[in-house]
Chain A
Amino acid sequence: NAGVTQTPKFRVLKTGQSMTLLCAQDMNHEYMYWYRQDPGMGLRLIHYSVGEGTTAKGEVPDGYNVSRLKKQNFLLGLESAAPSQTSVYFCASSPPSGSNFHEQFFGPGTRLTVL
């Protein structure tokens, strides 16, 4: 199992450009999450999904959109990138029940710089 993978690993954007970050998991998890991590701050939840076709806002959703068309994929979109969105983005997944109910599995992260 690959677990949780993220594409791309690094990206540099100019202000106003758009891009999509892809998260994929092969563990058949229902729940998926997008976080951002900034220096001096803990991870903050951007959006999450509790199943295919459903998405919801987290703590810091402004400037981002998400889609969960397939259970294994969770896409994070930046419509018009701003320097404040320079961050490391982590995707995670978790099952809704079972022995791993309490654990979130994280991807390796995407390092995004907006100039």
Chain B
Amino acid sequence: DAKTTQPTSMDCAEGRAANLPCNHSTISGNEYVYWYRQIHSQGPQYIIHGLKNNETNEMASLIITEDRKSSTLILPHATLRDTAVYYCIVRVAFSGNNRKLIWGLGTSLAVNP
């Protein structure tokens, strides 16, 4: 199964962009990259996903390198409420058409005033 590697922790100033890196060098061609976050032991929350192209939604942008071995989640204007653990996840197919998310330990992002 593809695995991901993320920094254990990061800091960001409020109002600045937060750039969270992720390495997934063993990812296969048909495996998606997902980002979720978990705020203070709540249930994880979906942020964004991508396969090859860069993606943007109302929460964040996802930049995937051309070789797909790494990606960066960008929170354009971080707020205190963005303080959370951010998980970079690879979704792999298993047992037919079913798929599962391979979770790592995530990056603990602290947004400071």
Q: Which of A62-70, A74-82, A102-110 contacts B (4 or more CB under 8 A)?
A: A102-110
A contact residues, total (Cβ < 8 Å)? 23
Known: A45-B100, A56-B95. A40 touches B105 (CB 8 A): yes
Q: Is residue A34 within 8 Å, beta carbon to beta carbon, of the partner chain?
A: no
Find chain A residues with CB under 8 A from B101 CB: 43, 45, 104
Asked whether A102 and B49 contact (CB < 8 A) given A50-B98, A90-B44, A109-B43, the answer is yes
Query: B44 and A42: CB pair below 8 A?
Result: no
Do the beta carbons of A102 and B32 come within 8 Å of each other? yes
| A2 proximal to B (CB < 8 A) | no
> Residues of B contacting A42 with CB < 8 Å?
87, 102-106
**Given A56-B98, A58-B100, A102-B34, A41–B105 Cβ distance below 8 Å?**
yes
Q: Tell me the nearest residue of chain A to B4, going by C-beta.
A: A42
Q: Which residues of B contact A45 (CB under 8 A)?
A: 100-101
Interface residues of B in 20-75 (CB under 8 A from A): 32, 34, 41-46, 49
Q: What per-residue 1/0 map shows which CB atoms of B87-113 lie under 8 Å from chain A?
A: 100010001001011111110000000
B residues less than 8 Å from A104 (CB atoms): 44, 46, 101
Q: How far is the CA of A44 from the CA of B83 in the complex (A)?
A: 23
Instruction: Tell me if B103 and A88 are in contact (CB < 8 A).
Output: no
- Can you list 28 A-B contacts with CB-CB less than 8 angstroms, sorted by A residue number? A4-B43, A42-B104, A42-B105, A42-B106, A43-B44, A43-B103, A44-B103, A45-B101, A48-B98, A50-B98, A56-B95, A56-B98, A88-B41, A92-B43, A92-B44, A102-B32, A102-B34, A102-B49, A103-B46, A104-B44, A104-B46, A106-B44, A106-B45, A107-B43, A108-B43, A109-B41, A109-B42, A109-B43
Given contacts A4-B43, A92-B43, 14 further A-B pairs with CB under 8 A are A42-B87, A42-B102, A42-B104, A43-B44, A45-B100, A50-B98, A56-B95, A58-B100, A88-B41, A102-B49, A102-B91, A104-B46, A107-B43, A109-B41
B residues lining the A interface (CB < 8 Å): 32, 34, 41-46, 49, 87, 91, 95, 98, 100-106
